[in-house]
């Protein structure tokens, strides 16, 4: 089946540093990817919709200058948490919308990236 890979799966960083999380569709093309954040015992909250070759669309309340999204190719979207603070510690999950072949119209989730900011 279609696979979405996220990297890194776990990252610990110091407050004030920036962290980049990658989301790759391994065997299909995805012009649209979604970034979610999940705090402990809470549901997934959509942060932004990432579109290949154009600016991301952010959900209300999500700071676009803090959470930088780049979708430079049909198989890769990156989320950069800039100047991270402890309150940014969370589980970040991406999903990719297949646009061709067997994956067309299907949504596939990455494994998630757990960020801990000290």
Residues forming contacts to other proteins in the complex (CB under 8 A) are 32, 34, 36, 42-46, 49, 91, 93, 95, 97, 105, 107, 109-112, 114
Task: State which residue, 11 or 82, has the beta carbon closest to other proteins.
Answer: 11
Q: Which of 55, 48, 47, 94 is nearest to 75 (CA)?
A: 94
How far is 24 from 94, CA to CA, in rounded Å? Answer: 9
Task: State which residue, 49 or 82, has the beta carbon closest to other proteins.
Answer: 49
How far is 6 from 15, CA to CA, in rounded Å? Answer: 22
Task: State which residue, 32 or 80, has the beta carbon closest to other proteins.
Answer: 32
How far is 102 from 115, CA to CA, in rounded Å? Answer: 32
| In the complex, minimum distance from the CB of residue 46 to other proteins, in angstroms, rounded to a whole number | 6
| In the complex, minimum distance from the CB of residue 83 to other proteins, in angstroms, rounded to a whole number | 26
Burial 6-29 (b: 16+ CB within 10 A, else e): beeeebebeeeeebebbbbbeebb
Task: State which residue, 17 or 37, has the beta carbon closest to other proteins.
Answer: 37
């Amino acid at each position: 089946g279609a696979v979405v890979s996220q990297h890194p799966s776990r990252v610990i960083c110091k407050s004030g540093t920036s962290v980049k999380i990658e989301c790759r569709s391994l065997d299909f093309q995805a012009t649209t990817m979604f970034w979610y954040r999940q705090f402990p015992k809470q549901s997934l909250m959509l942060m932004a919709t990432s579109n290949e070759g154009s600016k991301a669309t952010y959900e209300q309340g999500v700071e676009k200058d803090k959470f930088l999204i780049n979708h430079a190719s049909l198989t890769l979207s990156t989320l950069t948490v800039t100047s991270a603070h402890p309150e940014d510690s969370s589980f970040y999950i991406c999903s990719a919308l297949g646009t061709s072949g067997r994956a067309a119209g299907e949504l596939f989730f990455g494994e998630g990236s757990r960020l801990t900011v000290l």
